Amino acid sequence: MLKVTGLTKRFGDITAVNDISFQVGEGEVFGLLGENGAGKTTTLRLLATMLKPTLGTASLGGYDLIKEPEKVRRKIGILFGGESGLYDRLTAAENITYFGELNNMSKSEVNERIKYLTKAFGMEEYINRKAGKFSKGMKQKVAFARSIVHDPDIMLLDEPTSGLDVSAIRNVHDFIQTCRNDGKTIIFSSHTMSEVEKLCDRIGIIHKGSLVTTGTIDEIIKEFNGDSLEEIFVKMVGDKNEF
């Protein structure tokens, strides 16, 4: 479903992402674990076609990232950062419709999908109200609905719980579970061990742009002979930092 091959991104002299390769299967949640500035956001921006790779490529849903970026965009949904990023002067429905239409959905398709998502996320009370006055939780649900309005096969989630309170984090976790149950391929970046352990089927540890290791949590613990993922992560990152 998603195959990354030798993906590299350089900004001048700085190599933000260095020759990373991994695969994620259908219905799988892949956690990209790394410190701030490790290259997680750049990797996800590359996969979302926002940035062009310097070297390497990726295949998303059978489409090549470099050759068919528009087709790739048809396959992906994104949720970047803890902030929901809505248009405050538009209603929740208008926010979702805008993204549905830009993803080439017809009016009737968008309306049907909004009906479904409104029910799925319990947004009946405020779907036709302007987003500016929503609580954080309400905004979050609209952002979730917006990201999957076109029913993408692949979800790219870049630190979606950053800066959120406990109940908002719970909402994000539930959303990821829903996407997984719907058979979506998910890449989820985070620097929080507990949520990676809770949600991900497999993880990849990224440090200074390079993918240090990939595997299930058990495989990684076994491979690096540690007691916990956190211990191994600190050891890896710490060791590398010493260089």
Partner 1 sequence: MSFKHVWIVFKKEVKDIARDKKTILTNLLVPIILMPLIFFIMGGSFKRLGEDINENVTVALSSNSNTREIIQLVQEKIFADYPNIKLNGVVEDPIQAIRNNEVRFVIDVEENFAESLKQELPYTITILFDHSDTKSSGSYEIIAQAVNKYRDSIIRQRLESKNIDLSLLEPVKVVLNNAADEKTGGNFMIMMMLPMLISVLIAVAGIPAATDLVAGEKERATLEPLLTTQAGRMSILLGKYFTVTLFSIVGVIAQFIGVLIGFATSPDFLNMGGEASSQMSFYFPPLAMFLVILITISMGMVFAGLQLAVSTYAKSFKEAQTYLSFFILIAMVPAYATMMLQPSDIELYMFFVPLLNAIASLKMVLGNVINYTYLEIALATSFIYVAISLLFAASLFKKEKVLFRS
Q: Whose Cβ is closer to partner 1: residue 3's or residue 130's?
A: 130
Residue owning tokens 């954080």:
136
Answer for which of 27, 61, 99, 210 binds partner 1 (CB under 8 A) is 99
Paired tokens of 185? 């391929």
CB of 94 to partner 1, least distance (A): 8
- Binding to partner 1 (CB under 8 A): which residues in 42-61? 45, 48-52
Q: Among residues 27, 75, 39, 5, which one has the least CA distance to residue 158?
A: 39
Pairing outcome for strands 55-60 and 63-64: antiparallel
Beta bridge mates, 54: none
Cβ-based neighbour number of residue 11 at 10 Å: 11
CB of 203 to partner 1, least distance (A): 24
Mark residues 139-168: x for contact with partner 1 by CB under 8 A, - for none: -------xx---------------------
Q: Are 1 and 158 in contact (CB under 8 A)?
A: no
Answer for which of 60, 76, 114, 169 binds partner 1 (CB under 8 A) is 76
Answer for which of 6, 25, 62, 85 binds partner 1 (CB under 8 A) is 85
Residue 87 lies near partner 1 (rule: CB under 8 A): yes
Query: How would DSSP label each residue in 85-148?
Result: ---TTSBHHHHHHHHHHHTT--HHHHHHHHHHHHHHHT-TTTTTSBGGG--HHHHHHHHHHHHT
Residue 73 lies near partner 1 (rule: CB under 8 A): yes
Answer for which of 19, 68, 101, 197 binds partner 1 (CB under 8 A) is 101
Residue 68 lies near partner 1 (rule: CB under 8 A): no
Q: In the complex, which residues of this chain contact partner 1 (CB under 8 A)?
A: 11, 45, 48-52, 70, 73-74, 76, 78, 80-81, 83-90, 94, 98-99, 101-104, 130, 146-147
